[in-house]
Structure 1
């Protein structure tokens, strides 16, 4: 039977219909799917938001809906075990109306708003590159974002884009936290939004680059996240690095974005590494020893301008050598 669930502060109203293929919890519906033998009725490894007893799938759905980390759930009718999962699945076939209701049941949410560009693409495989509206999974804030639906399979949420120097990136920390620029031009999305989008599940980050001499390429890492504090410390898995293009030294991970791993974000009103901020005129994950060879928010110069200690600017030494870049695009996608 279908179950309609309306959640009040302490009052729950349950209305039962004829079929049992969906659960509705306070405006969020969960679609029922076949049990997958490979999951054993539980979440994928290391993705369990909670585990508890529940009288029925409705009660389990309520637990999931009220838990900010829960994106879907398994319910086991024989044992009344409820498993909240930190991920959504779209690949399972829907439950048939005549299927026997035994073993574990898997439910995944059907929401009015996607939580990132990957959701948008999965909901509509014909979605185009451009500005789309999402609803952040934890804060529930609606937000316009720029989605890249063409690069490497699409579904990328772009959080930085530079190509002509039209936008001044020498901003204070508040601006870097909340975002600035124009989504259809040059922009920085905002650290707090990047952090929340990446916190949904395992996330890949990709840096698309081009220099002043016609070279194009990229650098990508798995397990990207920003620390859960106002420091927004950068975390990536260095050994997961993939790349293409650039100069010969680009083969060495130490010349790229990996060198910024573990450093917190500093802007012009942050005192530590102030000499890096002032010289580069940017907010960035500056490296303590010499500021580092990568700063995609630094002062925009004519592409191909030689860089040295007295001339700092838009740079990725591993990719372009000691010459200023022409363009960069930073984006993330859930795995």
Structure 2
């Protein structure tokens, strides 16, 4: 009788262990199934999210392309669209988008600034070096909020279909100001060496016509001589990039010399200030009213 009780007890214990193992295995199996279900759900969510990301990326790319295609080509077009800011994104004909500086106030606005020379706000910062290569002048250089050259490719792109008006502003080291303007300004292609065409000088200008002598002459830099001087390489001698001939009457990309510091390599406009380098200058263009967007 005792033996039977002992055996029965052992059987009960063994059955308990078996039941525990079976129940534990079943719970483990159910947990695995639940986990696999969650993993599958996450995978499905990830696939949906990836699809949405791809769709969103395609939409953004389409929007970027649309915006690029609808950017104004210059500051005149930007002003026509109601943009009065001084720095805007434009897309010159046939060129990628770029940031340019605008003057939307002088004589009705619509001017795209193509050259800016001016002192920095800090005396510790040097003026920008304009003695650059042909490639630099081709694509442009400098800082849109400081000194810069917009680039000969941009000049050609903006003026090849229709000549633009040109406005030159000058300030000397005594604070005196002068200006000169023309009705027709155009820069030819690189194959034509970015040759200058400028006509229609406004005789109400106060600075004199220092571009007349440069008319129909190609552009030169220290590494790309195109001047007519048989004795000197004008760009190497005077620095900067310009429409040199033998050698210049105006030279607005020269070295920024200080007050009362003479030098033929300076920022010069001889029909107004014959010898001394100027403190600040700018060149701006816009389409004539008849072809404004």
Structure 1-normalised TM-score? 0.59
1:236 corresponds in structure 2 to: 198
2:284 corresponds in structure 1 to: 331
Partner of 1:244, secondary structure, is coil
What is the CA–CA distance in structure 2 between the aligned matches of 1:156 and 1:208, rounded to whole Å? 12
1:22 corresponds in structure 2 to: none
Shift of 1:221: 1.0
Runs ≥4 residues deviating over 6 A: none
1:299 corresponds in structure 2 to: 255
2:221 corresponds in structure 1 to: 267
Aligned with 1:141 (options 86, 93, 96): 96
1:174 corresponds in structure 2 to: 135
Is 1:227 the counterpart of 2:188 in the alignment?
Answer: yes
| Contact 1:211–1:304 under 8 Å retained in 2 | no
Shift of 1:140: 4.8
Bigger CA radius of gyration? 2
What is the CA–CA distance in structure 2 between the aligned matches of 1:243 and 1:160, rounded to whole Å? 22
| Contact 1:221–1:242 under 8 Å retained in 2 | no
Long gaps (5+) in structure 2:
1-64, 120-125, 289-293
Shift of 1:133: 0.4
Shift of 1:241: 3.0
2:62 corresponds in structure 1 to: none
Shift of 1:205: 1.1
Q: In the TM superposition, what whole-angstrom CA distance separates every residue of 1:154-196 from its partner, at most 9, and x where no partner exists?
A: 1101111001262100000000000110001000110001110
Q: 1:318 to 1:304 in 2, by over 3 A?
A: farther
| Contact 2:226–2:244 under 8 Å retained in 1 | no
Q: In the TM superposition, what whole-angstrom CA distance separates every residue of 1:224-248 from its partner, at most 9, and x where no partner exists?
A: 11123330000011x43345334xx
What is the CA–CA distance in structure 1 between the aligned matches of 2:91 and 2:160, rounded to whole Å? 14
1:36 corresponds in structure 2 to: none
What is the CA–CA distance in structure 2 between the aligned matches of 1:263 and 1:228, rounded to whole Å? 13
| Contact 1:209–1:327 under 8 Å retained in 2 | yes
1:213 corresponds in structure 2 to: 174
2:155 corresponds in structure 1 to: 194
2:84 corresponds in structure 1 to: 127
Shift of 1:211: 1.2
Query: Higher RCO, 1 or 2 (CA under 8 Å, sep at least 6)?
Result: 2
Q: In the TM superposition, what whole-angstrom CA distance separates every residue of 1:31-76 from its partner, at most 9, and x where no partner exists?
A: xxxxxxxxxxxxxxxxxxxxxxxxxxxxxxxxxxxxxxxxxxxxxx
Long gaps (5+) in structure 1:
1-26, 29-110
Q: 1:243 to 1:279 in 2, by over 3 A?
A: farther
Shift of 1:208: 0.8
For the aligned residue pairs, the C-alpha RMSD in angstroms reads 2.0
Shift of 1:279: 2.1
Structure having the higher helix fraction is 2
Structure 2-normalised TM-score? 0.67
Q: 1:243 to 1:286 in 2, by over 3 A?
A: farther
What is the CA–CA distance in structure 2 between the aligned matches of 1:175 and 1:334, rounded to whole Å? 25
Shift of 1:215: 1.2
Shift of 1:145: 0.7
| Contact 1:313–1:324 under 8 Å retained in 2 | yes
Partner of 1:321, secondary structure, is coil
